[in-house]
A = this chain, B = another copy of it.
Amino acid sequence: MDSTLLVAIGAAIAVLTGIGAGLGISLATGKAADAIARQPEADGKIRTTLLIGCALAEATAIYGFVIALLIVLLLK
Protein backbone atom coordinates (compact mmCIF):
# COMPACT_ATOMS: atom_id res chain seq x y z
CA MET A 1 0.00 0.00 0.00
CA ASP A 2 1.34 3.38 -1.03
CA SER A 3 1.87 5.83 1.84
CA THR A 4 0.05 8.69 0.08
CA LEU A 5 -3.21 6.80 0.30
CA LEU A 6 -4.06 7.39 3.92
CA VAL A 7 -2.30 10.79 3.98
CA ALA A 8 -5.04 12.17 1.71
CA ILE A 9 -7.76 10.79 3.99
CA GLY A 10 -6.00 12.20 7.04
CA ALA A 11 -5.69 15.70 5.65
CA ALA A 12 -9.34 15.60 4.57
CA ILE A 13 -10.57 14.63 8.02
CA ALA A 14 -8.43 17.35 9.61
CA VAL A 15 -9.91 20.15 7.53
CA LEU A 16 -13.47 19.00 8.35
CA THR A 17 -12.94 20.87 11.63
CA GLY A 18 -14.09 23.92 9.69
CA ILE A 19 -17.71 22.65 9.61
CA GLY A 20 -18.25 23.69 13.21
CA ALA A 21 -16.88 27.17 12.69
CA GLY A 22 -18.62 27.65 9.34
CA LEU A 23 -22.02 26.82 10.81
CA GLY A 24 -21.45 28.56 14.13
CA ILE A 25 -20.14 31.85 12.77
CA SER A 26 -23.17 32.03 10.50
CA LEU A 27 -25.60 31.42 13.34
CA ALA A 28 -23.90 34.20 15.32
CA THR A 29 -24.14 36.52 12.31
CA GLY A 30 -27.85 35.81 11.99
CA LYS A 31 -28.38 36.63 15.65
CA ALA A 32 -26.36 39.84 15.26
CA ALA A 33 -28.52 40.92 12.30
CA ASP A 34 -31.54 40.29 14.52
CA ALA A 35 -30.00 42.33 17.32
CA ILE A 36 -29.24 45.31 15.05
CA ALA A 37 -32.85 45.30 13.84
CA ARG A 38 -33.96 45.60 17.46
CA GLN A 39 -31.37 48.26 18.39
CA PRO A 40 -30.09 49.90 15.18
CA GLU A 41 -28.17 52.59 17.06
CA ALA A 42 -26.06 49.94 18.84
CA ASP A 43 -24.74 48.48 15.60
CA GLY A 44 -21.11 49.39 16.30
CA LYS A 45 -21.10 47.57 19.63
CA ILE A 46 -22.90 44.55 18.16
CA ARG A 47 -20.49 44.31 15.23
CA THR A 48 -17.43 44.55 17.49
CA THR A 49 -18.80 41.73 19.64
CA LEU A 50 -19.55 39.66 16.55
CA LEU A 51 -16.00 40.16 15.29
CA ILE A 52 -14.40 39.12 18.60
CA GLY A 53 -16.49 35.95 18.79
CA CYS A 54 -16.12 35.03 15.14
CA ALA A 55 -12.36 35.57 15.16
CA LEU A 56 -12.11 33.04 17.99
CA ALA A 57 -14.40 30.58 16.18
CA GLU A 58 -12.52 31.10 12.92
CA ALA A 59 -9.35 30.10 14.76
CA THR A 60 -10.70 26.57 15.25
CA ALA A 61 -11.15 26.24 11.49
CA ILE A 62 -7.61 27.53 10.95
CA TYR A 63 -6.25 24.86 13.32
CA GLY A 64 -7.80 22.17 11.11
CA PHE A 65 -6.46 23.91 8.00
CA VAL A 66 -2.89 24.16 9.33
CA ILE A 67 -2.83 20.51 10.39
CA ALA A 68 -4.21 19.45 7.00
CA LEU A 69 -1.53 21.54 5.27
CA LEU A 70 1.19 19.98 7.43
CA ILE A 71 -0.12 16.48 6.66
CA VAL A 72 -0.17 17.13 2.91
CA LEU A 73 3.21 18.87 2.70
CA LEU A 74 5.27 17.00 5.31
CA LEU A 75 3.96 13.44 5.21
CA LYS A 76 3.46 12.81 1.51
Instruction: Write the residues of chain A forming the contact surface with B, with a CB cutoff of 8 angstroms.
Output: 1-43, 45-76
Once A12-B71, A54-B56, A75-B72 are accepted as A-B contacts, the answer to whether A17 and B22 lie under 8 Å apart by CB is yes
Given contacts A14-B67, A29-B57, 11 further A-B contacts (CB under 8 A): A7-B10, A11-B71, A13-B13, A16-B16, A26-B53, A33-B34, A36-B42, A43-B49, A55-B56, A60-B61, A72-B75
CA distance A28 to B57 in the complex (A): 10
Shortest C-beta distance, A47 to chain B (Å), equals: 5
**Closest B residue, CB atoms, query A25:** B57
**Which residue, A9, A69, A73, A74, has most C-beta atoms of chain B within 10 A?**
A9
